Structure 1
Amino acid sequence: MMMTQSAAHQRKDGFVKGRRLGCLVLVLVLLADQLSKQWILYGLKLPEKGSVAILPWLNFTMVWNHAVTFGMFGGHSPSVFIIVSLMAVIALCVVLIRSRRLLVSLACGGIIGGALGNVIDRLQYKAVVDFLHFHVAGWSWYVFNIADSAIVCGVGLWILDSFLADRRRNRS
């Protein structure tokens, strides 16, 4: 089936729009992450306070994370995490540039923005600034930040896109 020139142009515009939205997400995540960390460190002065109750189920709790999620791979130099993160960012930038699906573009933007936010912390402080601490009824989640949230949401979007792509293929 041949696509008309107009349909091909619309499709190309959709790809470009998806990439632009991915880049916008990247910038917004990076800004939100870095501004929130600056406020936590220098506005709220959380390192001096340790923890501040915000809601019955949310505290701002200061944690200098020298590892990755759940403290995995601790004991390594910050440069190891920086190099691995930057390699992932480069690979994800290639995926974003080539992306033909909106959810993948948005996912890449979130993951790249989050990874860069944590790289900036490691360069500046030799650790990542974590402060969001959710807890309810004796259950407590690990302390994380906006960058971590964006990475998790990006991975979730990518998984959702893969399920949707499978459904589209099965219908064809």
Structure 2
Amino acid sequence: MATKKKTFSSNSSSGSMTPWLGIAFIVILLDQLTKITILKLFHHREVMPVTEWFNLVLVYNPGAAFSFLANEGGWQRHFFTAIGIGAALYIVYLLKRHSGQRLFCWALALILGGAVGNVIDRLVHGKVVDFLDFHWRGTSFPAFNLADTAICIGAALFVLDELRRVNK
């Protein structure tokens, strides 16, 4: 009896979710460790200049990116927590279905880790802890954290993966 040889392409769903969940876990761990450190060392709005264009500062964001809906009275905490949990569940589903697509899964793992890191903040503190403050020539950018950084890098990798897929 002849056996069929299995072949897997880069679009295959073969492989384990474990490495991708491991990457997400590392993002969550680093994010939470840095936030715990900042919370122990800084008071709210305390600034420590690091360079002429970068400060460490403890600020809280009850809204979403760039403080979107930050002044809405509290309902947004539950709304963004629910969105984060829903996104995390959907990402785990996508990781399971597409675990053989390396770049796509890197993107998803980083976004998953960042989303869960910020959900933890909302559950524990009621708002997201931000501490990375970049500024240049009088222009200050909104403070952010490692979870936000992972989400942005993941989004960029997602776009790159999509561009690669379209060009094939």
Please give the alpha-carbon distance, in whole angstroms, between the structure 1 residues aligned to 2:52 and 2:22. Answer: 33
The percent identity for this pair of structures is: 31
RMSD, matched Cα? 2.2
Please give the alpha-carbon distance, in whole angstroms, between the structure 1 residues aligned to 2:157 and 2:97. Answer: 17
What whole-Å deviation, never above 9, does each CA across 1:47-86 have from its counterpart, x for those lacking one? 2561111122210111110000111123142111111110
The aligned residue for residue 35 of structure 2 is 37
Question: When the two structures are aligned, how many residues end up with a matched partner?
Answer: 161
The residue type equivalent to 2:23 in the other structure is V
Normalising by the residue count of structure 1, what TM-score does the alignment of the two structures yield?
Answer: 0.85
What whole-Å deviation, never above 9, does each CA across 1:127-152 have from its counterpart, x for those lacking one? 10001001122232110000001011
Residue 62, structure 1, aligned to residue 58, structure 2? yes
**Which secondary structure does the structure 2 equivalent of 1:63 belong to?**
strand
Residue 120, structure 1, aligned to residue 130, structure 2? no
The residue type equivalent to 2:58 in the other structure is M
User: Stretches of 4+ moved more than 4 A in 1?
Assistant: 10-14
The residue type equivalent to 1:27 in the other structure is F
Please give the alpha-carbon distance, in whole angstroms, between the structure 2 residues aligned to 1:37 and 1:87. Answer: 23
Please give the alpha-carbon distance, in whole angstroms, between the structure 2 residues aligned to 1:157 and 1:121. Answer: 25
| 1:12 Cα deviation from its structure 2 partner | 9.8
The residue type equivalent to 1:160 in the other structure is L
Normalising by the residue count of structure 2, what TM-score does the alignment of the two structures yield?
Answer: 0.87
The aligned residue for residue 69 of structure 2 is 73
The aligned residue for residue 93 of structure 2 is 94
Could you tell me whether the CA contact under 8 Å between 2:104 and 2:157 is conserved in 1? yes
Whose helix proportion is higher, 1 or 2?
A: 1
The aligned residue for residue 167 of structure 1 is 167
Question: Mind listing any 5+ residue stretches in structure 1 that lack a counterpart?
Answer: none
The aligned residue for residue 151 of structure 1 is 151
Question: Mind listing any 5+ residue stretches in structure 2 that lack a counterpart?
Answer: none
**Which secondary structure does the structure 1 equivalent of 2:7 belong to?**
helix
Please give the alpha-carbon distance, in whole angstroms, between the structure 2 residues aligned to 1:13 and 1:95. Answer: 12
Please give the alpha-carbon distance, in whole angstroms, between the structure 2 residues aligned to 1:6 and 1:67. Answer: 48
**Which secondary structure does the structure 1 equivalent of 2:43 belong to?**
helix
